[in-house]
Amino acid sequence: MAFPTTDIPPVAIARIEKNQLTFFQLVWLRYKRHKMAVAGIFSLILLVLYAIVGTAFTTEAYSNVTDTSIRLRPPSYEHPFGTDTVGRDILSRTIYGGQISLMIGLIAMAVEVVVGVLIGAIAGYYGGIIDSLLMRFTEAMFNIPQIPLLLVLGKLLADKVPPLNLFGREFSGSVIIIIAVIGLTSWMGLARIVRANFLSLKEQEFVTAAHCLGTRNGPIIFGHILPNTMAPIIVSATLGVANAIISEAYVSFLGVGVRPPTATWGNMLNGAFQYIESAPWLWIFPGLLIVLTVLSINFIGDGLRDALDPHSLVGSE
Amino acid sequence: MDPLLEVRNLKVQFNTLEGVVHAVNGVSFQLEKGKTMGIVGESGCGKSVTMLSVMRLIKEPPGRITEGEVLFQEQDLLKLAKSSMHDIRGAKIAMVFQDPMTSLNPVLTIGHQISEALVVHSGIGKEEAYKKTLDLLEMVGIPQANERYKDYPHQFSGGMRQRVMIAIGLSCKPDILIADEPTTALDVTIQAQIVELTKKLQAQFGMAVIWITHDLGVVAEIADRMIVMYAGYMVEEADVYQIYENPRHPYTLSLLKSLPRVDRKKHDRLANIQGSPPDCIQMPPGCPFRPRCGFGVERCAEENPGLMTVAEGHKMACWVDVTTGRTR
Amino acid sequence: MNTSQVLVQVRGLKKYFPITRGILIQRQVGAIRAVDDVSFDIYRGETLGLVGESGCGKTTTGRTLIQLYRPTAGQVLYDGVDLTREKGQSLRNKRRKIQMIFQDPYASLNPRWTISRIIGEPLRVHKIITGRKAQEERVQELLELVGLDPCHTNRYPHEFSGGQRQRIGVARALASDPEFLVCDEPISALDVSIQAQVVNLLEDLQDKFGLTYLFIAHDLSMVRHICNRVAVMYLGVIVEMSDQDEVYDHPQHPYTKALLSAVPIPDPRATRARQRVILEGDVPSPSNPPAGCRFHPRCPIAGEECRMDVPIWREAAPGHWVACHKV
């Protein structure tokens, strides 16, 4: 019986016939299922545009112009959001304040992510005594209450840092302090998650294969393992922005955060405290902006968390 | 004699993000009382899904049994109410799975799990169930049954756990035992033990066995009749001696030629089957094996061959006669 | 095949994994003796099979040989150089010629890397080829060598089937121009119809490049087909070693006999006609191996000396080594 041996010719036998969805396409498909998460993206884009594009219509100087003769005016044609206690236009202050608040959110998040990932990765990868030390340190940091620390350091240090000049704007030096304190006190949760992922990922066979090939530890940590643990980092970073914005608002509201004349949504609330009922436009607009921003970010973060869920991702068969 | 179990034209689909998976495409067979049927195929061929559908264990959605009948003791199992099916599962038809670690509850003692099956299905009291459980444990070759009754699954080795699964399966003296890759995860010497055990218990209780596997060696050991599946289709069915001595479908033929044998010297390269098993989502028209088949003719791309009888009790699905090379 | 040239010499290799207790301070309370005094040679150009069931230590032997685990004791001489004494960059350099192929094609490739990056990794790590274009060309060459389409370099592992992924693993191993490949159960996780493809590929590559293989597997049928010599392991020691046909046709050690009789044969007449030796019980734990001959609790012919003395490794017939009191 003649049996045709179907052997493999040396070239080009194994073709991939169908087009597979890429990772990002798959994530987006799953993300779209959450209507609120998609709405969150839109509203965040709008808010960011508000803070950026708004500068075309007004200047920073204008937002700091005080004119006590028009103080505490309700919303009108010249001042669509009204004026504050020293006659500054609230609309333009929310625009410039928005820039600061968002910037604080982003940079504090960056600090948090860098510190958290580094500590988590090194602890998880090397294990042993390094892991013990880093984790005890992390636990100790967990015990530090963020808000009181912010309050104390904000009060003590904020005045001591000179103002900066960036992107053509002048900021109070307190911005740096706030960013640093928020960033350096919110990384611990991320460090734990990253460490846990590293502990399990470093046992995976592709890491063993990399060791076998002679790859050194640095490229293994950052080239091999880290890209496989992006999901919790992305989610944590997203929610970290919201957390930073709220923390800043909290502290500035109490008067020990970002110092005037630099506006942030938070310290605009500080001035509004006495006039809660009599001049509600002082706190409604910045308050609303904070709420909208934080809500949008939270929805996005939730949507991302579900979309990136490794258990349902078709990445393995 | 009437067959104990008859499956007619079973078709099962799954709805997934990537499309509809046609997992089972028209499987039909008969199982005689006391006989062993082997269902052989590679991953994704639909062998497990077939028997899970017979047991109505497929989650719907995303699964769906679109067609077919499963006749058992004058009832169509596919049309039974869930509660009636509940009475049949475990009591009349039992199933043993591949990974005993996930089939056994890790927080309950194995004694409890065996007794539970007895109490639920036979309606006997706890005392009696306890005694029967000890008997069962001895029967499946677990020594010191009264001590091991109180042990938890993690305290048993893989082979032992599989014996426990068999004990649970046999506790109510079912008519049919379905074993879904029961020894795939076990070492070869332990596998031999389990195969011997199954043969012994089958002789003792006279039950029918359906043994699902990808291992053509194990099937040769234990089966009376055999079905070969590919991409959800049945491609060959015959008496086990016939299939190994006279395989008629190109897939079966190629598969047998690609297997090395422990009892023969190496003399040749292993015959190769090019390509990979398909994923059953976008199947091209015609025969599912055509992309990998060395015997293909034009008709294979156009029309799907159904099962044809080529000899007494020997069916296969192919347009080409592999013995002569001629098309039907 | 030139049998007189020894490429790898393993002498007295031991790998113990400590079992520790304690929360703050870890004390060692025992050890899993995964590899317990294993010695063998591998000749240039041959394929040595290392077989055994789970827990016998074959995978650990392979990984310890390649220094993925540092041995607890013993030597591994590769081309005359003792790898156990090397560290760091020096070890990496000497190990360049030894590569490994892994069992799980789904886990051994980084799911976030394109296969171009995966296969090119050795080129970058050992600075064999610099420059993206040259690297890419070499990657395409390697893909062709293993029978894959070279235009798929920008795809991700999940887009390939198990057999194809295994070939990618082989391509990656070949990138550093190795002499010696440790194949750790390379086909166990593949479908039956694909196993022959990968085995044929490995044989072709061996012929083409004069490679030497250590083939670790539990599938005795496949080992018979591909290996020139076979060593059988049980609970951390080698119990029998010989040429491929010798061990299968004339097994000496009782464990080998039982193992061979348990291997299913895809032929109902042959398999049902066989005399089975069914072993009792389970494989004991490597943390507490039996005294004397490790196999004695399950051995059908165990005697008094088997319980007390460790059997000596000796040549029962030319080229056929066994460790058993009864042979």
Residue spans of the domains in chain B: they are 5-230, 231-328
Interface contact A6-B323, CB threshold 8 A: no
Interface contact A215-C100, CB threshold 8 A: no
Torsion of CA A72, A74, A79, A84, to 10 degrees: 30
Tell whether the model's pLDDT for residue C182 goes beyond 70.
Answer: yes
Average pLDDT, integer, range A64-93:
80
Tell whether the model's pLDDT for residue A158 goes beyond 70.
Answer: no
| pLDDT score at C144 | 92
Domains of chain A, by residue range, sit at 26-60+81-307
Burial of C168 (0-12, 13-18, 19+ CB in 10 A): buried
Average pLDDT, integer, range B206-210:
93
Q: How many CB pairs below 8 A link A and B?
A: 36
| pLDDT score at A7 | 37
C316 to B62, C80, C235, C251: CA distances (angstroms): 61, 28, 21, 11
Torsion over CA: A280, A285, A290, A296 (sign): positive
Closest residue in A to B268 (Cα–Cα) = A5
What is the average pLDDT value for chain A, to the nearest integer?
Answer: 81
The secondary structure element, H or E, covering residue A32 is helix A23-32
Domains of chain C, by residue range, sit at 12-323
* Strongest mean pLDDT among A199-213, B276-290, C152-166: A199-213
Q: Write phi, then psi, for B150 (nearest 5 degrees).
A: -90, 5
CB-nearest partner of A6 from B17, B274, B325: B274
User: Any chain A CB within 8 A of the CB of B326?
Assistant: no
Beta bridge partners of B67: B11
Which residues contact residue B13 at a Cβ distance below 8 angstroms, ignoring those fewer than 6 apart? Answer: B20, B21, B22, B23, B63, B64, B66
In whole angstroms, what is the distance from residue A284 CA to residue C58 CA?
71
Q: Which CATH class is domain C12-323?
A: alpha beta
Nearest Cα to C178, choosing from C48, C66, C103?
A: C66
CB-nearest partner of B220 from C53, C224, C271: C271
Tell whether the model's pLDDT for residue A6 goes beyond 50.
Answer: no
| pLDDT score at A270 | 84
Structure confidence at residue A21 as a pLDDT band (50, 70, 90)? low
| pLDDT score at A264 | 86
Q: How far is C249 from chain B (nearest CA, A)?
A: 8
Interface chains of chain B (3 or more CB pairs under 8 Å): A, C
Q: How far is C306 from chain A (nearest CA, A)?
A: 39
In whole angstroms, what is the distance from residue B214 CA to residue C190 CA?
11
Residue A82 vs residue B198, higher pLDDT: B198
CB-nearest partner of A16 from C100, C159, C200: C159
Burial of A165 (0-12, 13-18, 19+ CB in 10 A): exposed
Interface chains of chain C (3 or more CB pairs under 8 Å): A, B
User: Any chain C CB within 8 A of the CB of B263?
Assistant: yes
In whole angstroms, what is the distance from residue C99 CA to residue C182 CA?
6
| pLDDT score at A2 | 34
Structure confidence at residue B38 as a pLDDT band (50, 70, 90)? very high
CA geometry: angle at C116 spanning C111 and C122, to 5°?
Answer: 95
**Strand pairing category for C212-217 and C180-184:** parallel
User: Any chain A CB within 8 A of the CB of C225?
Assistant: no
Q: How far is A16 from chain B (nearest CA, A)?
A: 10
| pLDDT score at C75 | 93
The sheet with strand C27-43 has its strands ordered as: C27-43, C6-21, C73-78, C81-82
- Could you count the other beta carbons within 10 Å of the beta carbon of residue A265? 30
Which residues contact residue C128 at a Cβ distance below 8 angstroms, ignoring those fewer than 6 apart? Answer: C122, C175, C176, C177
Structure tokens at A27: 């994530």
In whole angstroms, what is the distance from residue A220 CA to residue A202 CA?
9
What is the average pLDDT value for chain C, to the nearest integer?
Answer: 89
Collect all residues of chain A within an 8 Å Cβ-Cβ radius of residue B253: 3
* Peptide bond connecting B62 to the previous residue in cis, omega within 30 degrees of 0: yes
User: Any chain B CB within 8 A of the CB of A1?
Assistant: yes
Q: Which one-letter amino acid corresponds to residue A102?
A: L
Q: How far is C98 from chain A (nearest CA, A)?
A: 9
Q: How far is B155 from chain A (nearest CA, A)?
A: 25
Asked if A115 and A184 count as a contact pair (C-beta separation under 8 A), the reply is: yes
Tell whether the model's pLDDT for residue A3 goes beyond 50.
Answer: no
Interface contact C110-A224, CB threshold 8 A: yes
Asked if B38 and B223 count as a contact pair (C-beta separation under 8 A), the reply is: yes
Tell whether the model's pLDDT for residue C2 goes beyond 60.
Answer: no
Closest residue in C to A223 (Cα–Cα) = C113
Whole-prediction pTM? 0.84
User: Any chain C CB within 8 A of the CB of B220?
Assistant: yes
Closest residue in C to A228 (Cα–Cα) = C112
Residue by residue, what is the 3-state secondary structure of B76-138?
EHHHCCHHHHHHHECCCEEEECCCHHHHCCCCCCHHHHHHHHHHHHHCCCHHHHHHHHHHHHH
In whole angstroms, what is the distance from residue A236 CA to residue A109 CA?
9
ipTM of the complex: 0.87
Structure confidence at residue B1 as a pLDDT band (50, 70, 90)? low
Per-residue model confidence as pLDDT tens digits over B75-128: 898 888 888 888 888 888 999 988 877 888 989 998 898 888 888 888 888 888
CB-nearest partner of A205 from C66, C102, C158: C102
Per-residue model confidence as pLDDT tens digits over B225-282: 999 999 999 999 999 999 999 898 999 998 898 888 888 887 778 888 887 778 777 7
- Could you count the other beta carbons within 10 Å of the beta carbon of residue B117? 21
Collect all residues of chain A within an 8 Å Cβ-Cβ radius of residue B294: 3-6
CB-nearest partner of C108 from A12, A20, A209: A209
B81 to A62, B69, C97: CA distances (angstroms): 76, 14, 64
A59-73, A241-255, A282-296, C227-241: lowest mean pLDDT where? A59-73
Interface chains of chain A (3 or more CB pairs under 8 Å): B, C
Structure confidence at residue C186 as a pLDDT band (50, 70, 90)? very high
Q: Write phi, then psi, for B23 (nearest 5 degrees).
A: -75, -40
Closest residue in A to B247 (Cα–Cα) = A1
Torsion of CA C242, C246, C249, C250, to 10 degrees: -70
| pLDDT score at A20 | 61
* Peptide bond connecting A261 to the previous residue in cis, omega within 30 degrees of 0: yes
Residue B217 vs residue C193, higher pLDDT: B217
Average pLDDT, integer, range B32-45:
90
Mutate to test the interface with B, among C56, C103, C168, C225 (most CBs of B within 10 A): C225
Which residues contact residue A140 at a Cβ distance below 8 angstroms, ignoring those fewer than 6 apart? Answer: none
Q: How many CB pairs below 8 A link A and C?
A: 99
Beta bridge partners of A170: A165
Q: Write phi, then psi, for A217 (nearest 5 degrees).
A: -60, -45
Q: Which CATH architecture has domain A26-60+81-307?
A: Orthogonal Bundle (1.10)
Asked if C180 and C94 count as a contact pair (C-beta separation under 8 A), the reply is: no
In whole angstroms, what is the distance from residue A75 CA to residue A82 CA?
4
Asked if A228 and C110 count as a contact pair (C-beta separation under 8 A), the reply is: yes
CATH homologous superfamily of domain B5-230? P-loop containing nucleotide triphosphate hydrolases (3.40.50.300)
Q: How far is A165 from chain C (nearest CA, A)?
A: 41
**Interior/surface letters A37-76, b for 16+ CB within 10 angstroms, e for the rest:** beebeebbeebeebbeebbeeeebeebbeeeeebebbeee
DSSP state at residue A277:
T
Q: Write phi, then psi, for B287 (nearest 5 degrees).
A: -70, 135
Per-residue model confidence as pLDDT tens digits over C10-55: 999 999 998 888 776 777 788 889 999 999 999 999 999 999 988 8
Per-residue model confidence as pLDDT tens digits over C129-156: 888 899 999 999 999 999 898 888 888 8
| pLDDT score at A19 | 54
In whole angstroms, what is the distance from residue C115 CA to residue C113 CA?
6
Nearest Cα to A89, choosing from A56, A47, A59?
A: A59
User: Any chain A CB within 8 A of the CB of C145?
Assistant: yes
Per-residue model confidence as pLDDT tens digits over C71-120: 999 999 998 899 998 888 888 888 889 999 999 998 999 998 999 999 99
The sheet with strand C98-101 has its strands ordered as: C98-101, C180-184, C212-217, C47-51, C229-234, C237-243, C320-323, C313-317
User: Any chain C CB within 8 A of the CB of B272?
Assistant: yes
Nearest Cα to C29, choosing from C16, C43, C45?
A: C16
Average pLDDT, integer, range B281-290:
83
Which residues between 259 and 318 in chain B have a beta carbon less than 8 angstroms from any beta carbon of chain A?
269, 271-276, 281-282, 292, 294-295
User: Any chain A CB within 8 A of the CB of C167?
Assistant: yes
Interface contact B263-C265, CB threshold 8 A: yes
